[in-house]
């Protein structure tokens, strides 16, 4: 289905219990909701009482193309639009990978929107200068030719470990995701949600919901130490590390991520009781 938002129609897949607790899965930049599919069967089997809402971010996947420059804060407002359109009236459990984690920080700092936050491989600082220079060099190629050649290679290197990139099933999800958006939409998303990303460390002390920050062991700009630091600034948060992954942790290590989600949600249920 598609739902309207201020950043265009967003593609949403709803699976699980129709009246279950709303659980949003928002994917990373460059890819779409298929990056959750390898762990979805485990979640449906072990937490069948949830309503899982898998949302393709603005300008990516099967969502409408971006037509103007935006911000992560506005993407968070678009997420609120989507939840309003879906008639979600209770606080949601938010699970965001990279870009999805950035959106989650914004939402979690607003009272009453989230019940909990899981941010996976989601740095709270802007991108490092060296990475910014590299992206700016590749951006004209992306605008002119799309995610091919050196652009595709750079995205795969940033998203996947060498072992994951050698797995045709995992690599295929990334390549197919890269091929869906238009060149213009992908370039605008790159500018809006990566190059223009700001430091949100100041938001962390305002996050009042239980939070889990999952780092990988192979992403340089959000190391386990970085995740621990972010958790120390968040009133009710803890950090854990998933081995054998880079940025697309749910795609690379679905069983490990599912295990941590289920344990986190079980603790939430215990606290609620």
| Residue listed under structure tokens 């120390």 | 232
| 100 has pLDDT over 80 | yes
Q: What is the mean pLDDT of the chain?
A: 96
Instruction: State how beta strands 10-16 and 50-55 pair.
Output: antiparallel
Q: 119 near 211, Cβ under 8 Å? A: yes
pLDDT tens digits, residue range 141-194? 888 888 889 999 999 999 999 999 999 999 999 999 999 999 999 999 999 999
User: Beta strands 237-242 and 211-216: pairing type?
Assistant: parallel
* Distance set, CA 35 to CA 20, 218, 247, 249, 265 (Å): 22, 18, 11, 9, 21
Say if CB 194 and CB 29 are below 8 A apart: yes
Q: CA–CA separation, 115 vs 99, rounded Å?
A: 19
> Phi and psi at residue 89, in whole multiples of 5°?
-110, 0
CA atoms within 13 A on the CB side of 176: 11
- Residue 205 near residue 233 (C-beta atoms within 8 A): yes
Helix (H) or strand (E) holding 106: helix 99-108
| Percent of the chain whose predicted confidence (pLDDT) is above 70 | 100
Confidence at residue 227, expressed as pLDDT on a 0 to 100 scale: 98
pLDDT for position 273: 65
Q: How far apart are CA 75 and CA 39, in angstroms?
A: 25
Kindly report the pTM of this predicted structure: 0.97
Categorise residue 165: left if φ over 0, alpha if ψ from -120 to 50, beta otherwise: alpha
Angle at the Cα of 48 (from 44 to 51), degrees rounded to 5?
90
Cα–Cα dist 56/27, whole Å: 7
Do the bridges between strand 211-216 and strand 114-120 make them parallel or antiparallel, or are there none, so unpaired?
Answer: parallel
The radius of gyration of the chain's CA atoms, rounded to the nearest angstrom, is 17
Task: List the one residue out of 43, 2, 4 whose CA is nearest residue 25.
Answer: 43
pLDDT tens, 223-252?
A: 999 999 999 999 999 999 999 999 999 999
Query: Of 122, 107, 134, whose CA–CA distance to 215 is shortest?
Result: 122
Structural domains in the chain, sorted by start: 2-272 (3.40.50.1820)
How far apart (Å, rounded) are the C-alpha atoms in residues 58 and 145?
21
Residue 5's region, left for phi above 0, alpha for psi from -120 to 50, else beta, is beta
Q: Quick one: pLDDT at residue 134?
A: 87
Q: What is the DSSP letter of 194?
A: I
Whole-number Å distance between alpha carbons of 213 and 202: 16
């Amino acid at each position: 289905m598609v739902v309207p938002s201020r950043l265009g129609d967003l593609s949403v897949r709803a699976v699980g219990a129709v009246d279950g607790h709303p659980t949003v899965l928002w994917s990373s930049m460059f890819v779409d909701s298929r990056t959750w599919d390898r762990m979805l069967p485990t979640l449906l089997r072990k937490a069948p009482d949830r309503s899982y809402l898998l949302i393709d971010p603005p300008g990516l996947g099967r969502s409408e193309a971006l037509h103007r420059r935006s911000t992560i804060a506005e993407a968070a407002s678009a997420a609120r639009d989507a939840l309003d359109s879906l008639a979600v009236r209770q606080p949601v459990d938010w699970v965001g990978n990279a870009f999805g984690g950035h959106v989650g920080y914004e939402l979690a700092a607003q009272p009453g929107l989230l019940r909990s936050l899981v941010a996976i491989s989601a740095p709270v600082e802007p991108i490092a200068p060296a990475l910014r220079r590299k992206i700016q060099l590749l951006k004209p190629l992306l605008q002119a030719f799309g995610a091919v050649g050196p652009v595709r290679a750079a995205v795969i290197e940033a998203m996947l470990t060498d072992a994951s990139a050698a797995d045709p099933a995992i690599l295929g999800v990334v390549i197919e995701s890269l091929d869906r958006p238009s060149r213009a939409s992908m370039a605008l998303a790159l500018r809006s949600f990566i190059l223009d990303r700001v430091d949100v460390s100041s938001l962390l002390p305002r996050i009042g919901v239980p939070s889990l920050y999952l780092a990988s062991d192979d992403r340089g700009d959000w190391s386990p130490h970085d995740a621990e630091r972010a958790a120390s600034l968040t009133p009710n948060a803890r950090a854990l590390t998933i081995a054998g992954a880079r940025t697309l942790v749910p795609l690379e290590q679905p069983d490990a991520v599912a295990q941590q989600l289920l344990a986190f949600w079980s603790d939430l249920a215990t606290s609620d009781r």
